Amino acid sequence: MTLTGKVALVTGAGSGIGRAAALRLARDGATVVPLGHSQDSADEAAAEIRAAGGTALPLAADVADATAVRAAVDRVESELGRLDVVVANAGVNGVWAPLEELEPEEWESTIATNLTGTFLTVRLALPLLLRQGGAVVVVSSINGTRTFSNSGASAYATSKAGQLAFARMIAVELAPRGVRVNVVCPGAIDTEIGDNTEARNTERLGVRTEYPDGQIPLTGSEPGTADQVADVIAFLVSDAASHVTGTEVFVDGGQSLVV
């Protein structure tokens, strides 16, 4: 699954799935553009890539800011001259709260990063992708696509469902022009995203169900790893998946089938 000679943009590359994907694509031969919310986080990802023998161009941008994303893509064009792979991974859990307590600005913030950020990343990178064809992977979630058990996560789940619909729509539109678009839907993954979740008064929401054998059929209570998600992303952007587009892959150990 070599990516030698190709350039890959990975958003949210400062940590978690984004960091793992950036490292994996670099290991497969791509020149990687780790895009972080801060320059420091992007630089840290780039340093790790370079330490492993890879090549990186670290950039920073808020993916919800069209001007910032456009500037990042312009840097890719001016310094690297091409773009073959886009991994739209940047996202937040945001605020999880009862609907009557969820403030409009909290809803807007989650949608802006997760859904509008995905649109802006793909839309503004598209002119470069169309030059030689390429592959896009959107990092969604089992929440909002196959499970709806995290009561209070209405903004998050809606943004993730929107990502899947967006990817399917553009997969059909872009296929005749040589761009493939797929989605990964992780379940419980051991990353830092939960540290940035604000949960308010969600304890009594929803319907309580107990699974004595654990929530994840493959591993019980053990979450998956960012590297396992990165492996799937690497497959989807490679020539090994050359006839795969408009599909989603659930990387959850079967969790979404039982929860």
Q: Give the model's pLDDT for residue 187.
A: 95
Q: What is the pTM of this model?
A: 0.93
81 Cβ neighbours under 8 A, 6+ residues apart:
none
Grade residue 197 by pLDDT with cuts at 50, 70 and 90: low
The residue-averaged pLDDT of 11-28 equals 98
Instruction: In whole angstroms, give the CA distance from residue 13 to residue 18.
Output: 4
Query: pLDDT for 95-131, tens place per residue?
Result: 999 999 999 999 999 999 999 999 999 999 999 999 9
Q: Give the model's pLDDT for residue 207.
A: 47
The residue-averaged pLDDT of 179-200 equals 80
pLDDT at 196 over 90: no
Strand-pair partners of 59: 35
Query: pLDDT for 131-185, tens place per residue?
Result: 999 999 999 999 999 999 888 999 999 999 999 999 999 999 999 999 999 999 9
Q: Give the model's pLDDT for residue 192.
A: 61
Going by C-alpha positions, the residue among 180, 203, 178, 12 that lies closest to residue 97 is 203
DSSP per residue, 92-134: ---EE--GGG--HHHHHHHHIIIIIHHHHHHHHHHHHHHHH-E
Q: What residues are annotated to the active site? A: 156
Question: Phi and psi for 65 in degrees, rounded to 5?
Answer: -105, 105
According to DSSP, the β-strands at 134-139 and 179-186 are: parallel
Q: Supply the mean pLDDT for the chain.
A: 93
Q: Give the model's pLDDT for residue 211.
A: 44
- Class assignment of domain 7-257? alpha beta
